Amino acid sequence: MLADFLTCDYIRLNVVCDNWKDAVKAGAELLLEKECIEPSYVEAIIHHHENFGPYMVVAPGIVLAHARPEDGAKEVSISLVTLKKPVVFGNITNDPVKLVFTFATTDNKVHLSLLSSLMELFSNQKDMQAIMSASQVSSVINIIKQYSN
């Protein structure tokens, strides 16, 4: 299922960002381009980070940027951006961030299934390192396919 959502149109590699806000916007831009989310969704992600801290940094080097469905999610979607240079989100344990996954959902069942696949991926250090250092989207897609049930 993960590979059905995380296709080449939703992946960008080695994006240059100066700070965490730029990184959030870079990940969300792919979902905005495909009209999966509204601009208010991006604003909500930034607002949540500013008000609740870097809880979205879910593992070393990985942020799972998201907001609530009512904040502007139009359909279930996910994007992945690798950063050329990691940026600090303010999470003492898991900074700096190299991978930005942006996640939007309108369906709880699909949402839980995708999160389960992502958590399985996040727990495999070898695959995560391969994604972080990938220079071709096809390499990332091949890894993602392994986590699609």
Domain span at residue 11 reads 2-145
Q: What percent of the chain has pLDDT over 70?
A: 99
For 80-118, write each residue's pLDDT tens digit: 999 999 999 999 999 999 999 999 999 777 778 888 889
- Total structural domains within the chain: 1
| Residue 97, beta-bridge partner list | 87
Helical ranges in the chain per DSSP H: 2-5, 20-33, 39-52, 108-122, 125-132, 137-145
Catalytic site residues? Answer: 66
* CA-CA-CA-CA dihedral for 67, 126, 117, 133, to nearest 10: 50
CATH number of the domain encompassing residue 128 = 3.40.930.10
Per-residue confidence of the chain (149 residues) as pLDDT tens digits? 888 899 999 999 999 999 999 999 999 999 999 999 999 999 999 999 999 999 999 999 999 999 999 999 999 999 999 999 999 999 999 999 999 999 999 977 777 888 888 999 999 999 999 999 999 999 999 999 998 76
